[in-house]
Structure 1
């Protein structure tokens, strides 16, 4: 996609280090500092604010799929830099966009309890889903905006737990804050990683852009019997059926690894297995 919105740096591929990939696979989350520049963030901040301003007033405001409403946000969300990282972290050949979401939390807004995003996503096979949270403004404070339970994505016992924190503690896991974030930092986590968002006890609105991807070859396995997930089948996945491939106009392919890189990854996997 031709970039006419000044995000040239975001169209350059950015390889994640082996150390970061290993840490992500172990912990289920990863913080990458200054993945986008202040100039990049400035190119979409006002567009995101305009979309939020259209909503009724509230402490927590969110708008999904802003890429369909604003060309600059589309160029940012579709950036090859982000989607290449998503594919690397998931260990897949390519990724499709699930959705983007602009999420504002005003002063006084409460916390979001620990949860696993995949519980609210359509069931896919493979269930390789990844989200990136990127602040549009600096978020100070020791805790920062998010908390994670490292390693929680590896335990199937936690899936659907009524008290996820207690269940995690019984497995020897604990909740920890991600720490302060600056505009342009990026926090990634899998769809099965327990995470939460702290309440906003500052006088500054927290402004976030969230991008969620899934493996490009995924098929829909959802039985379409969930009142919470079924609306996604009727909107983002409209016209698609359980058992079919999860692809369509609203699920664009954002990255597909060149053949030479596939060969390189196969060789690396073979070496790691020896």
Structure 2
């Protein structure tokens, strides 16, 4: 991969996020879209359940945003996208890391009428690795609009202090309430940017930046794949525990097994070998 445009790095450092146009091609978009219904019906191609399956038809209200975490374990198409060298290289270079590995992915589906997701910082949930901190690549599979409940960023809010998790994440009554509270605590001003982009575009954001999304009042769905990357050199925290992801820690060993947290890209050319078979 060629060197990243310095302008993108400057924008990322200033705003806390940067838009990358045409990140996914038409064939990849179509392949990814085709996997959403099977995944949320529990038809897992690999035979493995994802780590989190937050919306099940018949169990959960139809007006909720549908989410699966670590869908790459369950589906090869999702794996090829979120574990790509391109994702890792962009996240690492924008972060200033020597390499990136996957921490977690999201498969997100917000159908028409689906309610909001509360504003939050990804790094509020990244206490279980050292060094802590995500850089996230959000890839849209549909054209987005403000009316369609697209992702929104509070520009520059990555410069505010890191908060503990606040409020309700799924379908809060006021999805920006946590943002206003954080701004008041930080003494910062709020500059909300709704991301209106084309299918295949991506946004890469800093783990401290505040973001969320409103209700989808449009007539079309909003589907996206999200890769939360961590630095390639990360290891498990000695005492802090993720109730889900610390299950992959070996007894007496803080190293992160590349079977579960593969290295997507490293500046010296290294990439977890098994990814080449995807």
TM range (shorter): 0.7 to 0.9
* In the alignment, structure 1 residue 160 sits paired with structure 2 residue 164: yes
Distance 2:223 2:39 in 1: 12
Q: Which runs of 5+ in 1 are unaligned?
A: 1-12, 260-274
Q: Which residue of structure 2 aligns with residue 148 of structure 1? A: 153
**1:22 match:** 10
> RMSD over aligned Cα, in angstroms?
2.4
TM-score, normalization: structure 1? 0.78
Tell me: CA distance 1:85–1:202, structure 2 relative to 1, closer, same or farther (3 Å).
Answer: same
Alpha-carbon separation, structure 1, partners of 2:104 and 2:134: 11
Structure 1 distance, partners of 2:113, 2:36, is 21
Q: Measure the CA separation in 1 of the matches of 2:97 and 2:239.
A: 25
Q: Is the 8 A contact 2:126 2:132 kept in 1?
A: no
Specify the alignment match of 1:178 in structure 2: 194
Match of 2:256 in 1: 246
Q: 2:267 aligns to what?
A: 257
Q: Does the Cα contact within 8 Å between 1:146 and 1:195 map onto a contact in 2?
A: yes
Contact 1:126 1:218 in 2 (8 A): yes
Q: How do 1:119-158 and structure 2 match up within 5 A?
A: 119-141=124-146, 145-156=150-161, 158=162
Q: Is it true that 1:101 corresponds to 2:106 in the alignment?
A: yes
* Of 70-79 and 112-121, the range deviating more from structure 2: 70-79
Distance in 2, matches of 1:31 and 1:84, equals 15
TM-score by length of 2: 0.77
| Aligned length in residues | 240
Give structure 2 stretches of 5+ with no counterpart: 43-55, 167-177, 270-278
Shift in Å at residue 61 of structure 1? Answer: 1.3
